[in-house]
């Protein structure tokens, strides 16, 4: 939801990039029209689409475009409020039970915003460095998963308030990361498994006393 309307699970494998056609801001509310093609196939009103890592509900379907609405909390906690007409956005339809999980489970609930502090392009892709709050860095670990603008990625290194991810050429070419530069802000969703492990260790929920078992992971969708 991201936060906001909608609900669903995603893989973090971007299906296409769409173009922001129109933005209408009304006080604490934003309506956005996104031009798309692939994600419109089979999509109906009320379905969820992950837009830049934010789960949004489709409120209108137009010719080669769809409309979503974002509330104040979404605009404050994500980068959706900073989008402009003509911007590209990562898009993914919600996961169906019959789909293969190619990345990791992504909720579309953005935890916070990170700033790009490094970009090193190389023949095998690019290395990105991000600055993130200490509160969220505790969920970031080397070889762990993280979603950046809805893209499922593996953490290469993490220290202090910085972490790095390595982007392969295909992902770089097929997502909005291609256009990102140092200083740009991105939406971050930490791995839900990391949050679950924290909950187990803290023992806040009596149901978690059985520990991190296969049965519990199954209930979480893993």
Task: Give the side-chain half-sphere CA count within 13 A for 121.
Answer: 9
Encode pLDDT of 170-215 as tens digits.
Answer: 999 999 999 999 999 999 999 877 776 666 666 655 554 444 444 4
**pLDDT at residue 100, rounded to an integer:** 55
> pLDDT tens digits for 52-69?
999 999 999 999 999 999
**pTM across the whole model:** 0.84
**Residues of CATH 2.40.30.20 domain(s) within the chain?**
16-93, 112-190
Q: Which CATH number fits domain 16-93: 3.40.50.11310, 2.40.30.20, 3.30.750.24, 2.40.37.10?
A: 2.40.30.20
Give the HSE-up count for residue 189: Cα atoms under 13 Å, Cβ half-sphere.
30
Determine the CATH number of domain 112-190. Answer: 2.40.30.20
When pLDDT is cut at 50, 70 and 90, the band that residue 2 belongs to is: very low
Please, is 156 exposed, middle or buried when counting C-beta atoms within 10 Å of its C-beta (0-12, 13-18, 19+)?
Answer: middle
State pLDDT tens for residues 30-50. 999 999 999 999 999 999 999
pLDDT of 198 reads 65
């Amino acid at each position: 939801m991201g936060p906001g309307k909608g609900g669903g699970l995603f893989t973090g494998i971007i299906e296409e990039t769409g173009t922001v056609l129109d933005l209408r801001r009304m006080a604490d509310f934003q309506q956005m029209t996104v031009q798309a093609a692939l994600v419109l196939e089979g999509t109906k009103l009320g379905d969820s689409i992950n837009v830049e890592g934010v789960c949004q509900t489709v409120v209108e379907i137009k010719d080669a475009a769809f409309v979503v609405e974002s509330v104040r909390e979404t605009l404050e906690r994500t980068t959706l409020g900073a989008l402009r007409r003509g911007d590209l956005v990562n898009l993914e339809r919600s996961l169906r039970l019959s789909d293969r999980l190619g990345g990791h489970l992504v909720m579309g609930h953005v935890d916070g915003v990170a700033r790009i502090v490094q970009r090193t392009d190389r023949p095998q892709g690019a290395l990105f460095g991000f600055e993130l709050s200490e509160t969220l860095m505790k969920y970031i670990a080397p070889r762990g998963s993280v979603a950046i603008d809805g893209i499922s990625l593996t953490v290469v290194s993490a220290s202090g308030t910085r972490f790095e991810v390595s982007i392969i050429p295909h992902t770089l070419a097929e997502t909005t990361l291609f256009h990102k530069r140092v200083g740009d802000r991105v939406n971050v969703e930490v791995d839900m498994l990391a949050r679950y492990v924290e909950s187990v260790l803290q023992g806040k929920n009596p149901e978690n006393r059985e520990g991190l078992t296969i049965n519990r992971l199954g209930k979480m969708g893993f």
